[in-house]
Structure 1
């Protein structure tokens, strides 16, 4: 089994797509006004409008801008460079400035325009680097 994507639900797909394009430098594919995907080398961040919830059983299935449990994580080359690049853009959304975590990652946490938590991180210690490099050359079954 392979995790392929994470989908966030929002009231404004264009605004959210533009935000993620700015922070990642990856242009999202807008399939419709209600659905977009940001394709990274390892997974997809899907962005769906609240209108798409009807297809999953109704608007009570998920609520936009109410996530307080999941963290969307992006591995980056240099956390401090990313912080310096984005600090002005996400100034009011910063949760934690670049910090080295006890498990060996350097981490910068901020929120997107709907309040979803985002972590830009880079492994620093040998153990953390090894953890993220394990299996990176294996092909998917």
Structure 2
């Protein structure tokens, strides 16, 4: 039996701003988009791992008002789990993120004690993103 990762959901408060960031800055490809009840889900993939989908979703989409409110509050505080990516050129990726002005830079590329070189920032929704050199 083989189990593999097929997708990751990332909560966003502004789907358009997040789509622009993940597509135009990080280079993800938009696969499709769905809307239901006024909420959107946008599915993206990277060119190097098209089988792993990244889904941008709104906190209230498909949830109760109470649960959506709780997730929206955590998103606003930047308290959701971080997302880790890797790139073949960390410096070039970081420069593109920094130039976009839609992310909050937390850490420039640096060697880490656990053996990798990475950078950290918050995406337009406030999610903590770390990108490591592959």
TM score, norm. by length of structure 1: 0.72
* Structure label with greater radius of gyration: 1
Q: Deviations over 1:82-106 (max 9, x none)?
A: 1223222147600001110112211
Could you tell me whether the CA contact under 8 Å between 1:111 and 1:117 is conserved in 2? yes
Aligned length: 120
- Partners of 1:100 and 1:91 in 2: CA distance: 24
Spell out structure 1 runs of 4+ moving beyond 6 A: none
Match of 2:126 among 110, 115, 131: 115
Shift of 1:31: 1.7
Name stretches of at least 5 consecutive residues in structure 1 with no aligned partner: 124-141
Q: Is 1:59 aligned to 2:61, yes or no?
A: no
Higher relative contact order (CA 8 A, sep 6+): 2
- Partners of 1:117 and 1:49 in 2: CA distance: 16
- Partners of 1:117 and 1:70 in 2: CA distance: 7
TM score, norm. by length of structure 2: 0.76
Note the aligned Cα RMSD (angstroms): 2.2
Task: Kindly report which structure 2 residues correspond to 1:4-15, keeping only aligned pairs within 5 A, or say none.
Answer: 4-15=6-17
The 1:32/1:120 distance shift into structure 2, 3 A limit, reads: same
Could you tell me whether the CA contact under 8 Å between 1:37 and 1:44 is conserved in 2? yes
- Partners of 1:70 and 1:90 in 2: CA distance: 22
Match of 1:88 among 96, 99, 105: 99
Could you tell me whether the CA contact under 8 Å between 2:31 and 2:44 is conserved in 1? yes
The DSSP-based 3-state class of the residue aligned with 1:114 is: coil
Name stretches of at least 5 consecutive residues in structure 2 with no aligned partner: none
> Equivalent residue for 2:41?
35
- Partners of 1:22 and 1:39 in 2: CA distance: 13
The 1:72/1:48 distance shift into structure 2, 3 A limit, reads: same
> Equivalent residue for 2:28?
26
